[in-house]
Structures are given as structure tokens and as C-alpha cells.
Amino acid sequence: MKKIIIGLTICLSILSWKSVHAQGINFEKLTMNDALNKAGIPGDEKLILIDCFTSWCIPCAEMEATEFPKKIAGDYFNPKFVSVRFDMEKGEGKEIAKKYNVTAYPTFLLLNFQGQEINRVVGKASAEEFVNKVKAALDPKNSIPGLKAAYEEKKSMRTGFPYALALYQASKDPSPVLEELFDHSQDFERFSKEYLELAFGISKFGSPFFRKIMLEKSNIDAYWGTEVTNRIIFDKIRKDMYQIASETGAKYNIFYTPKEVEEVAYTIALLKLPQDKPESHMGRIALYVVNKDLDGLIAYYKRNIALIPNTDVFKGILDGILMRQAAKANETQKTAIREYFSGVAKTYEKEFKYYQGMAERMQKPVGK
């Protein structure tokens, strides 16, 4: 009897899980051509939702697991859309990424049944937020042509920033709009956090627009505080420098000359970020890598990275960069790299012995 009850409980749990997920967005396993054909059935035309994801995109996975299955999402999308998902780095997804210029993840393309892009939504959102964003994106006045018309009719931050953001999300260059806004807006507008994050995010380090913004850094600091401003600037370059240091920049279309990396490293140094934070060293590490100075890189690790606590996750990322360089090292350099990692291991050994001793003392009877 007990086994029967347990079996029924499991069956009910599975049925309940399926019921919940059946309420969400019905993503169909279709090719792009099949999706277009299904959306274009005469008398039953629908729009197409394409979830553009990658295997390494955590927000993509989170939305798939927690937001897409919700009833509010299914109620809105299933009657109106043919919904499909493609990994942008595999199979047909590569062609879709190239055709629609998808470079940020997650991106959700909204197409008509002829495959023409109406608009797109970029970034993670709750199910309710996602539905609202899609509704707004389908409003003609929120399309890129609609936003452009509103901006040209009356140029201001109120009309210009949404237009620039839409251009950016569609992988188009918003820098002319952002620079025009920077030149003609009031300080409280052009020094707003959302404006600065986008402006720094799209401007190349050392470009005329980047330098124009940096000339106002003291004023920006007065609005947000030096620490916040420095974080905005550093976040703009952190990923690029990691790709350069990992020598994977070409895969993500990230290219810097050694001179440009030197300027980045110099600027980061002027920000005076806390040296006990591993990420603050990324510019210097990228500079050693791009200059192919492995001896300098090893010396830098021994002098600076070895002092960073091993408990910091980013420390492991930096150690991985050095480990990849070992494949190019000569015997003397390999010995030096082994010495570095041996020193790290000794630190772990000391920590292990310390905590092991604490645990053993807890096991002893009180008073002995």
C-alpha cells in the first residue's frame, strides 16, 4: 500500500510539473523555414518570437527555467506567436545571428511571418516584465523608425536616449546620437547613470568621444562619487581585457593593438582600484600578454597576484590565464610558473591545516 501511495505521489508530481510548464510559452522545435511557413498560414497569420541564446549565457538559462514556463507568458505568446529557440553558436543559429546581427544575449527577435524584424527585446526580465517589453516593442512608435522620427522632430534627452538605446540593442551604432546629446543636454541629463553606462559602453577606449567624456570626469565624480564613476569606466573595459588576456578576442570580434591596450592599462591604473581585487589587474595582465612578455607576466603574478586571497573566484580566472600561457613557455619559464603555483598550493595547505586543527579541537571533550 505504501509503495502504491508513493507511486501515485510521484505520478501526480510529474503531471503537476508538466501542467505548470504547459502553461508557459510553447517553444516549438522548428527550423526557421518551418517557423515562417507556420506563421504565414493564410487566415491564421502569426508573429514569430525567436529566443536567441548561447550555452554560456546564464540569464538565458534562468529565463528558460523560471520565466518562460509561467502562465502569464504562455497566455500572451501562445495565441499570437510561433515561438522558437536557437543557440546562436550552433547550426542554423549561426546564420540567424549573422542575418539579424545578434551580438548580445539574451536577445528576443520579433518578426512578421515574412521574416522581417519588427523590433527586438534585449536582456533578462521577469515573465511579466518580458510581456510588457514585447507589447511596447510591437508599438510602431517604439520601433527604430518611430523613435528616429520622434527624435528628429524634437531633439532632447527624452527622445534621444530611447532612440540611441534601440540602435544599440539592434547592434547599430548609436554614438552620433549619444555625442549629440552629450554636446547639447544639461549636466544632470548627460551625467545620468543610464546615459553614462551606455555612452562608456559603446565608445572605444581612447576614441574622441571617450576622451570628450573623460574630460568631464571631475564633474561626473561630483554627481556619482569617484567610486561609482570608476566602476562604470572599468566595467566598460573589463570583459575586453579578459578576452585579450585569454587570447580569445578574435572569437568575439574584439581587437586592440598593443598601444591601445597600454592606454587602457594606464587609464585603469589612474582609477586607483583596490589592488586586493583580482579584476583590477586585468589591464596589466592583458598588456603583458599582447606584448608577448611572458617573463614580465610571471614576475607580475609573483609580485601581485600571489598576494590575493585564494577564496576570490576571480583569482582562479587569473590563474587560468597564466596556466594557458604555460603551453608557450620555455623550460625556465615553466619552472617559474610551477614555482608560482607551488606557492599558491602552500597557502592552501596552511589554510587547510588551520581549519583542520579547529575542527579537531571541536571534537575533543570540554575541559580536556
In whole angstroms, what is the distance from residue 103 CA to residue 171 CA? 7
Catalytic residue check, 11? no
Q: How many CB atoms lie within 10 A of CB 57?
A: 20
Q: Is the pLDDT of residue 368 over 90?
A: no
In whole angstroms, what is the distance from residue 96 CA to residue 298 CA? 42
Question: Cis before residue 274, ω within 30 degrees of 0?
Answer: no
Q: Is the pLDDT of residue 87 over 60?
A: yes
Q: Higher confidence at residue 268 or residue 32? A: 32
Least confident range from 142-146, 202-206, 242-246, 357-361: namely 357-361
Least confident range from 68-82, 262-276, 354-368: namely 354-368
Candidate list 35, 57, 241, 336, residue with the active-site label: 57
- Residues 93 and 128: beta-carbon distance below 8 Å: no
Rounded to the nearest 10 degrees, the angle between the axes of helix 91-100 and helix 32-39 is 70
In whole angstroms, what is the distance from residue 193 CA to residue 199 CA? 10
Give the contacts of 120 (CB within 8 A, at least 6 positions apart): 100, 107, 108, 109, 110, 137, 169, 170
Strand 47-53 with 81-87, pairing: parallel
Q: Is the pLDDT of residue 4 over 70?
A: no
pTM passes above 0.75: no
- If residue 118 lies in a helix (H) or strand (E), which one and from where to where? strand 117-122
Q: Give the pLDDT mean for 293-317.
A: 89
In single-letter form, the type of residue at position 256 comes to: Y
For the chain, percent of residues with pLDDT exceeding 70: 92
Q: Is the pLDDT of residue 184 over 70?
A: yes
Q: How many CB atoms lie within 10 A of CB 348?
A: 10
- Grid cell of 132 as nine digits: 510588457
Q: Is the pLDDT of residue 6 over 60?
A: no
Candidate list 25, 49, 60, 166, residue with the active-site label: 60
